[in-house]
Amino acid sequence: MHCFRSQQHMRYHFYVLVMVLLAGLFLNLDNRDMLVLLFAITLVIVAEMFNTAIEVIVDMITDSYRPAAKLVKDVAAGAVLVAAMNAVIAGVLIFFGQKRLTQIQSQMQQNLPPDITKVVVIGIVSLALIVIISKLISNTGTPLRGGIISGHSAIGFLLAMTIYFSADNLAIAFLAILLAVLVAQSRVEAGFHTLREVVFGAVLAIVLTAFVYRIIPFIRPYLPWSHSPKPLSAKHQIPDYGSQWLTSLRDEGETPLGQR
C-alpha cells in the first residue's frame, strides 16, 4: 500500500494487471497463458517493491549526494525496467506470436463455457486489486477492514454467483446466495462496513460474474473476428494447374513421372 501511494509506476502496474486479467477472461486464454501473464506482471510488481525498499534504505544511510548511492538507486530502477521489458515481451508473444491470433480466434469461435476454476481465481485476484485500489484512492480503511467497497462481500457474492451461473440446482444456488448475504450482514453488524459499502461489493461481484458468464458468450458471435472467412467464389478461386495437368495425363493414358 505504501508503494502504491508513493510510486506512480506502481499504480500503473496495478491498473494494467486488472485490465490484462479481464482481457484474458474475455479472450478465453488458456490457463498456461494466464499463468505466464500473471507471473510476468507479478515479477514487475515485486521488482518495484524491492526498488522502493532500496530507495528508503539509501535515504536512511545518507542524506547527501554520493556516487555510490546514485549507483544503487540506478541499478534497482534498472531491475524494474528489465522486469517490465520481460512482461512486454511475454504479452507480445502470447497475443501476437506465431499462430496465436489464429488460436485466439478459434477459441472465440468455439464460444466454450468459461472455466470455473479460472474464473474464480482471476475473479478473486481482480476483486482484491479493485478493493485495494479503491481504499488507496479514497484513503479509507485498512487492508482487511473498512474502505468504500467491502472486499468480503465482493468475494462472497463472486463465489455465490459463480455457483448460481454454473449449477443446475436452484436450491443450491439460493443457499449460496444466502451465505453471501450472511457474510455481507456480518460485516455490517461488526461495524467494519456500512450497508452501502457491502452493497457496492455485492454489485461489483455480480456485474463481474454476469459479464463473464452471460455478456461475453452473448456478444462473442457478433464480434468481427468470431466469424469464419467465407469461401471464395468460383471466379475468385485460384485454378489448380497441377491437378489439371495430372488429370490430362491420366486421360491420355500416360503415367506421371512421380508414379513411374
Lowest mean pLDDT, pick from 16-20, 217-221, 251-255:
251-255
Reported as a single tens digit per residue, the pLDDT across 191-206 is 888 888 899 889 988 9
Reported as a single tens digit per residue, the pLDDT across 69-116 is 889 999 999 999 999 899 888 888 887 766 666 666 665 555 556 667
Cell (9 digits) for 131:
478493493
Q: What is the mean pLDDT of the chain?
A: 78
Q: Is the Cβ–Cβ distance between 173 and 163 less than 8 Å?
A: yes
More confident residue, 7 or 162: 162
Cell (9 digits) for 58:
539509501
Placement of cell 452501502 in the chain = 196
Assess if CATH 3.40.1350.10 describes domain 1-110.
Answer: no
Placement of cell 500500500 in the chain = 1
User: What residue segments make up the domains of the chain, in order of their start?
Assistant: 1-110, 111-225
pTM over 0.95: no
Reported as a single tens digit per residue, the pLDDT across 123-138 is 888 888 888 888 877 7
Residue 24 backbone phi and psi in degrees, to 5: -65, -40
The catalytic site residues sit at: 48
